[in-house]
């Protein structure tokens, strides 16, 4: 029995290692933070070193939803639809102050933080955040994925679907 | 100089004239907008329609002021036209047959202030969304009154 | 759990489209539409018959926020309008307020603002060209230009404290003067930029694929451009040399020598080439500004707008009261209204400011070039192929923050 648990833990570590180093981001770019996203993907600060370089511009093939920039109430249904089109396992990064908490826009048009609509795994503050902060966030997210449970066999207890 | 030429040529079509930091300002009645803009475009070369917006003065009797800006390459100058419309009937004629760029700007003014443009058939919301009640840039709209479409999760 | 939400704004194409054509949604979350524009196109085969352009997905309520904040607190909001060239927006706003106050800025501030306007213009054109050619597949050009832009961002970070959203202007001057070594590094970056822009010319100008994709695509005449309100590089690409820096000079532009590049046909290739030529002109203008930079203070010493020196604030009661009133209450601008327009990298950026005598603007409206260009963009999409939507859209340089405010 202990052997079974040991094998499950080792399997989780292996699957976690595989998943964390092959993140396919979906950059949901709306505003100024998009400029920093372009900078962090380019040669000076490279996300390719961490495995998170290739953006898949379709939610069906990606597993990291990076919400980059302000989400207004008009964009909120679009964001929710994109999130629900992604398959499990999926992670969400709130990139920038506007995605984290609405930024300094406290008015009728801006959603005060995307965690009011979709569950968020990691928040990156900054207006816009420096590229080093984004890389730090990706590394922290990779640590979180490594620690997580990854039930891939049907006989295991499954992780509840996030809404 | 441009202001004098305008006031003599358009005499009778405007209520008041003024000047704002080098830009002539004409105050008109709503029914005179289209003839005046036609003549400005034909005779004075105001072929670039810059902007239309509105201002809300809730304590004043004609509540809204619709403000137009135009630019003339020939005279290298701008002009401002102001029209006052009351709250119970906030309608002005449209400029879309004259300038294509008026479409989107009139849609925005309608969205933000609720001012109608007769003759413009496409007054769908442009910056806001369908289902948004109220007109945010009016002074009586509370700034952080949000109207979410997607229900919030707990 | 509701999984389908109706579109925020319905399209007339749902009613009027031909039943034999396909209505395609090039949705707001798209890499090539810079994330905030929705184009609903009616296609017959590969040709776009009608296009309905929806904007407003990044509406952040700038004008309503501006009515509730003092003049200095509005400055960070103006940064986020055209976020690729944040300093340009800052300076237009400051110009509007300073003209209402009747303040004349110092000569050093004038030349510095001109220099930084052109520096931001380089960053904006570099971003536009990089994004538009990347969407056509040229990743090398994108990475070269992103390196140039990153060096410019780090340099401006050294000056203002932020890479992208600088908030460097203050009413009556600038936040601080140039640090040591800034001008030497500026010259290095300009040389680097020239080398890399030359590489982009080599990669793109006579590239058969690029010419095939952009020549004679979305061409327009000058009359069409004026009717639909296009200004800036788009209007200049049709052959008309209208430039606010030459026609009604502001800041120090009347002392600079520069040319205004114009195009021939007004198609995508001309818009790309006009922007590349404007980068060269901006580099030469920056070098002229560096040569003629005078000394002196960088902010005007007017008690209505400028904060007093810290030693005086701690020792004299008048300075303390002035500091307190300026920070807590804000700058009181005399009643009046003004429309100020500068030549932003996208076109004519106008600020219409109405003040009622208090410390908050009564109304602040932005005449944004991107919004007007979106109004006329459907005329450039109709009749061309659906694959031409991407280069045409890229050449318009739609910046979401400016379009939707």
Taking the Cβ of residue A82 and every Cβ of chain C, the question of whether any pair is shorter than 8 Å is answered with yes
Instruction: Report chain B's mean pLDDT, rounded to a whole number.
Output: 88
Nearest residue to A25 (alpha-carbon basis) of A58, A3, A47, A55? A55
Name residue, tokens 């590089």: C233
Residues of B whose CB is below 8 A from C372: 101, 104-105
How far is Cα A72 from Cα C26, in angstroms, rounded to an integer?
19
How far is Cα B82 from Cα B95, in angstroms, rounded to an integer?
14
How far is Cα B100 from Cα B91, in angstroms, rounded to an integer?
19
User: To the nearest whole angstrom, how far is the Cα of B130 from the nearest Cα of chain A?
Assistant: 9
User: To the nearest whole angstrom, how far is the Cα of C318 from the nearest Cα of chain A?
Assistant: 33
Q: Enumerate long-range contacts of C186-192, CB under 8 Å, 24 or more apart.
A: C186/C119, C186/C155, C186/C286, C186/C290, C187/C287, C187/C290, C189/C148, C189/C151, C189/C152, C189/C155, C190/C283, C190/C286, C190/C287, C192/C148, C192/C151
The secondary structure of B8-31 as a DSSP string is: HHTTTS-SEEEEETTEEEEEE-GG
* The pLDDT of residue C3 is above 70: no
Domains of chain B and CATH, by start: 2-100 (3.30.460.80)
* The pLDDT of residue C328 is above 70: yes
Sign, Cα dihedral of B130, B132, B135, B137: negative
Question: What would the pLDDT profile of C350-392 be if each residue is shown by its tens digit?
Answer: 999 999 989 999 999 999 999 999 999 999 999 999 999 989 9
CA A53 to mean position of chain CA atoms: 13
Nearest residue to C88 (alpha-carbon basis) of C114, C62, C111? C114
**Torsions phi, psi of C367, nearest 5?**
-90, 100
pLDDT in the model for residue C277: 94
Instruction: Report chain C's mean pLDDT, rounded to a whole number.
Output: 90
Helices vs. strands in chain A: H and E counts, helices first: 5, 4
SS3 (DSSP) at C107: helix
How far is Cα A158 from Cα C17, in angstroms, rounded to an integer?
47
Is residue B38 within 8 A of residue C299, CB to CB? The reply is no
Taking the Cβ of residue B1 and every Cβ of chain C, the question of whether any pair is shorter than 8 Å is answered with no
Q: What is the mean pLDDT of residues C108-113?
A: 94
Find the CB nearest B49 among C63, C229, C242. Answer: C229
How far is Cα C341 from Cα A116, in angstroms, rounded to an integer?
39
Other CB atoms within a 10 A radius of the CB of residue C103 amount to 17
* The pLDDT of residue A17 is above 80: yes
Return residues 22-81 of A near C (CB < 8 Å): 27-32, 34-36, 38-39, 42-45, 55, 57, 68-70, 72, 74-75, 77-81
Taking the Cβ of residue A139 and every Cβ of chain B, the question of whether any pair is shorter than 8 Å is answered with no
pLDDT band at B150, cuts 50/70/90? confident
Q: What is the mean pLDDT of residues A83-96?
A: 91
Nearest residue to A93 (alpha-carbon basis) of A162, A28, A20, A16? A28
pLDDT band at A18, cuts 50/70/90? very high
* The pLDDT of residue C182 is above 80: yes
Query: What distance, in Å, lies between the first and last C-alpha atoms of chain B?
Result: 65
Is residue C345 within 8 A of residue C81, CB to CB? The reply is no
Other CB atoms within a 10 A radius of the CB of residue B88 amount to 6
DSSP E strands in B16-76: the ranges are: 16-20, 23-28, 48-56, 64-72
Domains of chain C and CATH, by start: 13-54 (no CATH), 62-301+332-367 (1.10.645.10)
* The pLDDT of residue C272 is above 90: yes
pLDDT band at C14, cuts 50/70/90? confident
pLDDT band at C261, cuts 50/70/90? very high
Other CB atoms within a 10 A radius of the CB of residue A127 amount to 19
Q: At what angle do helices C86-101 and C107-135 cross, to 10 degrees?
A: 150
Taking the Cβ of residue B47 and every Cβ of chain C, the question of whether any pair is shorter than 8 Å is answered with yes
Instruction: Determine which helix (DSSP H) or strand (DSSP E) holds B148, and give its type and residue range.
Output: none
User: To the nearest whole angstrom, how far is the Cα of C285 from the nearest Cα of chain B?
Assistant: 24
Name residue, tokens 């034909």: B42
How far is Cα B36 from Cα B52, in angstroms, rounded to an integer?
15
Q: What is the mean pLDDT of residues C334-347?
A: 92
How far is Cα C211 from Cα B94, in angstroms, rounded to an integer?
41
Q: Cβ of B143 and C64 within 8 Å?
A: yes
Return residues 25-44 of B near C (CB < 8 Å): none
SS3 (DSSP) at A108: coil
How far is Cα A84 from Cα A102, in angstroms, rounded to an integer?
22
Taking the Cβ of residue C14 and every Cβ of chain B, the question of whether any pair is shorter than 8 Å is answered with no
Nearest residue to C96 (alpha-carbon basis) of C369, C363, C403, C399? C363
Taking the Cβ of residue B145 and every Cβ of chain A, the question of whether any pair is shorter than 8 Å is answered with yes
Domains of chain A and CATH, by start: 25-147 (3.40.50.12280)
Q: Cβ of A73 and B141 within 8 Å?
A: no
How far is Cα C273 from Cα C261, in angstroms, rounded to an integer?
9
SS3 (DSSP) at A66: strand
Is residue C100 within 8 A of residue C108, CB to CB? The reply is no
CA B39 to mean position of chain CA atoms: 18
Nearest residue to B149 (alpha-carbon basis) of A81, C44, C167, A18? A81
Question: What would the pLDDT profile of C194-215 be if each residue is shown by its tens digit?
Answer: 999 999 999 998 999 999 999 9
* The pLDDT of residue A52 is above 90: no
Question: What would the pLDDT profile of A99-140 be if each residue is shown by its tens digit?
Answer: 999 888 999 989 999 989 999 999 999 988 999 999 999 999
Instruction: Report chain A's mean pLDDT, rounded to a whole number.
Output: 89
pLDDT in the model for residue B123: 87
* The pLDDT of residue A161 is above 90: no
pLDDT band at C192, cuts 50/70/90? very high
ipTM: 0.92
C-alpha distances out from residue B125 to B121, B134, C112, Å: 12, 12, 41
Question: What would the pLDDT profile of C124-180 be if each residue is shown by its tens digit?
Answer: 999 999 999 988 888 899 999 999 999 999 999 999 998 999 999 999 889 889 999
Burial of C177 (0-12, 13-18, 19+ CB in 10 A): middle
How far is Cα C206 from Cα C273, in angstroms, rounded to an integer?
11
Taking the Cβ of residue A162 and every Cβ of chain C, the question of whether any pair is shorter than 8 Å is answered with no
Other CB atoms within a 10 A radius of the CB of residue C54 amount to 23
Q: What is the mean pLDDT of residues C71-88?
A: 91
Question: What would the pLDDT profile of C23-78 be if each residue is shown by its tens digit?
Answer: 988 888 888 777 789 999 999 988 999 999 999 899 999 999 999 999 999 999 99
For residue C328, the 8-state DSSP code is: I
Report the predicted TM-score, pTM, of the whole model to 2 decimal places. 0.92
pLDDT band at C1, cuts 50/70/90? low
The secondary structure of C278-327 as a DSSP string is: HHHHHHHHHHHHHHT---S-SS---TTTPPPPHHHHHH-HHHHHHHHIII
């Amino acid at each position: 029995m202990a052997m079974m648990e040991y094998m499950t833990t080792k399997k989780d570590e292996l699957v976690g290692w595989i998943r964390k180093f092959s993140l396919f981001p979906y950059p949901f770019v709306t505003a100024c933070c998009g400029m920093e996203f372009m900078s962090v993907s380019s040669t000076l600060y490279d996300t390719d070193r961490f495995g998170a370089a290739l953006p898949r511009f379709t939610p069906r093939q990606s597993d990291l939803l990076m919400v980059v920039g302000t989400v207004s109430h008009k964009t909120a249904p679009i964001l929710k639809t994109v999130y629900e089109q992604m398959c499990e396992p999926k992670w969400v990064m709130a990139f920038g102050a506007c995605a984290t908490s609405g930024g300094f826009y406290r008015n009728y048009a801006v959603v005060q933080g995307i965690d009011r609509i979709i569950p968020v795994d990691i928040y990156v503050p900054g207006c816009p955040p420096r590229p080093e902060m984004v890389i730090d966030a990706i590394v922290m997210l990779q640590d979180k994925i490594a620690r997580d449970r990854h039930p891939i066999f049907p006989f295991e207890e499954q992780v509840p679907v996030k809404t | 100089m441009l202001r004098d030429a305008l006031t003599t040529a358009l005499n009778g079509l405007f209520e008041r004239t003024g000047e704002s930091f080098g830009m002539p300002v004409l105050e008109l009645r709503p029914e005179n907008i289209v003839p005046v803009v036609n003549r400005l475009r034909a005779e004075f070369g105001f072929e670039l329609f810059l902007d239309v917006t509105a201002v809300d003065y809730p304590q004043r009797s004609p509540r809204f002021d619709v403000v137009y800006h135009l630019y003339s390459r020939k005279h290298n100058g701008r002009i401002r036209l102001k029209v006052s419309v009351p709250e119970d009937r906030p309608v002005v004629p449209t400029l879309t047959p004259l300038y294509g760029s008026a479409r989107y700007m009139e849609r925005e003014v309608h969205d933000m202030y609720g001012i109608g443009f007769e003759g413009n058939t496409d007054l769908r919301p442009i910056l806001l969304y369908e289902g948004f009640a109220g007109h945010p840039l009016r002074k009586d709209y509370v700034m952080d009154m949000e109207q979410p479409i997607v229900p919030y999760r707990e | 759990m509701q999984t389908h939400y109706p579109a925020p704004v319905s399209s007339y194409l749902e009613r009027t489209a031909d039943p034999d054509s396909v209505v395609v949604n090039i949705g707001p979350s798209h890499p090539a539409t810079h994330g905030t524009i929705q184009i609903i196109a009616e296609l017959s085969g590969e040709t776009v018959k009608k296009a309905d352009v929806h904007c407003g997905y990044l509406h952040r309520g700038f004008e309503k926020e501006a009515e509730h904040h003092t003049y200095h607190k509005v400055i960070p909001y103006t940064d986020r309008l055209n976020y690729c060239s944040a300093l340009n927006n800052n300076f237009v706003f400051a110009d509007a307020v300073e003209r209402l106050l009747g303040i004349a800025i110092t000569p050093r501030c004038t030349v510095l603002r001109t220099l930084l306007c052109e520096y931001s213009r380089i960053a904006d054109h570099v971003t536009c060209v990089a994004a538009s050619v990347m969407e056509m597949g040229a990743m090398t050009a994108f990475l070269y230009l992103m390196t140039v832009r990153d060096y410019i961002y780090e340099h401006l970070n050294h000056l203002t404290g932020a890479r992208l959203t600088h908030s460097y202007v203050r009413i009556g001057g600038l936040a601080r003067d140039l640090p040591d070594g800034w001008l030497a590094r500026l010259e290095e970056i300009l040389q680097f930029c020239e080398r890399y822009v030359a590489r982009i010319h080599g990669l793109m100008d006579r590239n058969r694929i690029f010419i095939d994709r952009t020549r004679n695509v979305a061409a327009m005449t000058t009359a069409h451009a004026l009717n639909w309100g296009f200004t800036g590089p788009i209007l200049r690409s049709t052959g008309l040399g209208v430039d606010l820096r030459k026609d009604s000079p502001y800041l120090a532009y009347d002392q600079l020598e520069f040319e205004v590049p114009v195009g021939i046909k007004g198609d995508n290739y001309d818009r790309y080439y006009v922007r590349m030529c404007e980068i060269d002109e901006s580099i030469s203008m920056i070098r002229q500004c560096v040569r003629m930079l005078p000394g002196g203070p960088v902010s005007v010493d007017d008690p209505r707008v400028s904060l007093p020196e810290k030693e005086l604030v701690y020792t004299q009661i008048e300075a303390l009261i002035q500091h307190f009133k300026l920070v807590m209450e804000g700058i009181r601008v005399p009643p009046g209204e003004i429309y100020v327009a500068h030549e932003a990298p996208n076109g004519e950026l106008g600020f219409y400011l109405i003040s009622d005598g208090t410390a908050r603007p009564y109304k602040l409206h932005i005449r944004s070039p991107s919004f007007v260009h979106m109004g006329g963009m459907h005329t450039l999409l109709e009749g061309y192929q659906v694959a031409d939507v991407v280069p045409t859209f890229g050449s318009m340089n739609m910046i979401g923050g400016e379009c939707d405010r």
